[in-house]
Structure 1
């Protein structure tokens, strides 16, 4: 059994089922992100793990202990909220030590632990300040220190970086990951930002309409999406309509071009299917392992700095590809005839 075991979890509000048969095992010390759009159920699952919502059905076990119906303050959970939720009338040190004080620890022990947390979050000189005297990033560090001070078994982070500007977000997410690794604490991180989820996590749970559409490592989620929703939600994607001509032999047709995928496909001849293809796997011209070659013309060119995104019209569809900027070589001209190539292994057949 996993350290944190979520089994057949469901949650309904009236007639609305917001979480549907959610199952997940998280190992001790693992960092798992729940990724998805607003309303997909990710925060509801987090709140059920934390004890702030009661499941309609299912169970939650932490280190073998069933906590499904146990109050939040008896679960040994650390929670960091999006809105910091610091006490404005308490100093930084008193905010961090608040949970320890409620737990009845002595003043000397609290002082020692608060000093440890201030050092851990990189604010050793700011214990005497009040929240209004801190930046947003510093306040979120204090919230993290307060959650960790009580030595929780599981740390829950509910979109803790969404209120910060982009540069601070990048810096703070690196700090959160460093602290999590140093402490070896089991962590769930809720976000709608795919870059945060992919860069920080051991595994990512992509949620859609109350269901875990796919669970996997960041590499798997990005490179091998198993559903159309995951493919479209995570990263930039080409979606290509094709016709299945021979399922057993893995043969399809893109417009008038026959393509062999060299693997068995589900379906029957004549079925319409969707293929997913990342822009970075498509090359202008012929590449060494590009056994699928399509002819078309340049439809759009977007200069993005180090990368140039080109859209090519092929087989009646637009195909995006990325190429590195080369200062001595201008981007291709709109309307120019071109060939594009891709390896058959990079063409993913998506489930509905």
Structure 2
């Protein structure tokens, strides 16, 4: 049996169906991210695991024990919130040791654990400060240390980095992942930031309208999306429409231009199908490793720092492609006639 086993979990608020038939098995020590847009049910699912919300139906088992009817403080769970939730009148050390104090642990044990946690979060000299004397990133580290101090079986993080600036988010997510690996604690992480989920997770649960659309490792989620929603939500995507000309040979036309895919198509001749291509799989000009191409006109060029994004207009549809920015690169000009090449193996096909 999995360490965390969620089976047929449902949640209604009145007649609103917020979480629908949610199933997930999490192994001990895994780092799982719930990824999706606002209102998709990811935080509600997390709160049901924590005990802050009661499921309408379904079961939640932690280490073999059904916890649905247990209060949050009976589940041995550590929780980190978006807004830090530190006690302003307590020092950093007192905040970290708060859960242990409530549990009635001896003072010497609390002090030792607090020192250990201050070392783990790289703030060994700041135990005597108050929260208002810390930066946002430091406060969130303290919140993490407080959640871990009680040695929970399960760590839950609800968008803990969304209030921080971009550079601090990157460094702190690396620290959170390093700490999680060091301690080997099973972790559920809620985020709407796809980069966070892709860079931190062992597996990702992509949620949409209360449904887990796909569960998989980051490579699979990004490169082999199971639904059009996953393909569009995770990463940037060119969504295009094409017409099947010969399904047996994989022949199609896109805005009148013929393309032959590297596989048959499960659709009738004349049917409309959807295609999806990541911008990074496209290139300007022919390439030896590509077997597909389209011709069009440069509509605009966006400078994104390390990447140049070029948008090319076809006959009614537009494709975007990304290339690394280098000093020697001469970006195309708006209005230039260009060829866009790609490997047909990178083309994702869905129903029209």
TM exceeds 0.5? Answer: yes
In structure 2, C-alpha distance between the alignment counterparts of 1:327 and 1:119, rounded to whole Å: 43
280-289 or 305-314, which moves further after superposition? Answer: 305-314
TM-score computed with the length of structure 2 as normaliser = 0.96
CA offset at residue 224 of structure 1?
1.4
Pair 1:351–1:243, CA change in 2 (3 A): closer
- 1:330 paired to 2:330: yes
1:112 equivalent in structure 2? 112
- Check the 8 A contact 1:251/1:262 in 2, yes or no: no
Q: In the alignment, what sits opposite 2:153?
A: 153
Give the CA deviation at 1:204.
0.9
Q: Deviations over 1:220-263 (max 9, x none)?
A: 11111121111111111111111123444433221222322233
Deviation at 1:83, TM superposition (A): 0.7
Gap regions ≥5 residues in structure 2: none
1:268-319 superposed Cα distances (whole Å, 9 cap, x missing partner): 3322111110111111111112111212121211122332111112243111
Report the CA distance shift for 1:351/1:113 in structure 2 as closer, same or farther (over 3 A): farther
Q: How many residues align?
A: 352
CA distance in 2, matches of 1:351, 1:154: 40
Give every structure 1 segment of 4 or more consecutive aligned residues whose post-TM-superposition deviation is greater than 4 Å.
none
Distance 1:351 1:70, change over 3 A: farther
Mapping of residues 219-230 of structure 1, within 5 Å: 219-230=219-230
**Any gaps of 5 or more consecutive residues in structure 1?**
none
Q: Secondary structure in 1 aligned to 2:214?
A: strand
How many angstroms does 1:341 deviate by? Answer: 1.0
Determine whether 1:298 maps to 2:298: yes
- 3-state SS of paired residue (1:205): strand
Does the residue aligned with 1:350 lie in a helix, a strand or coil? strand
CA contact (8 A) 1:228 1:351 kept: no
* RMSD of Structure 2 on Structure 1 (CA): 1.4
- Name whichever of 166-175 and 260-269 sits farther off: 260-269
Question: Offset at 1:103?
Answer: 1.2
**Residue 189 of structure 2 aligns with which residue?**
189
Contact residue 227 and residue 351 of structure 1 kept, 8 A = no
Partner of 1:54: 54
Partner of 1:174: 174
Work out the CA distance in 1 between the residues paired with 2:350 and 2:129. 53
Deviation at 1:351, TM superposition (A): 5.6
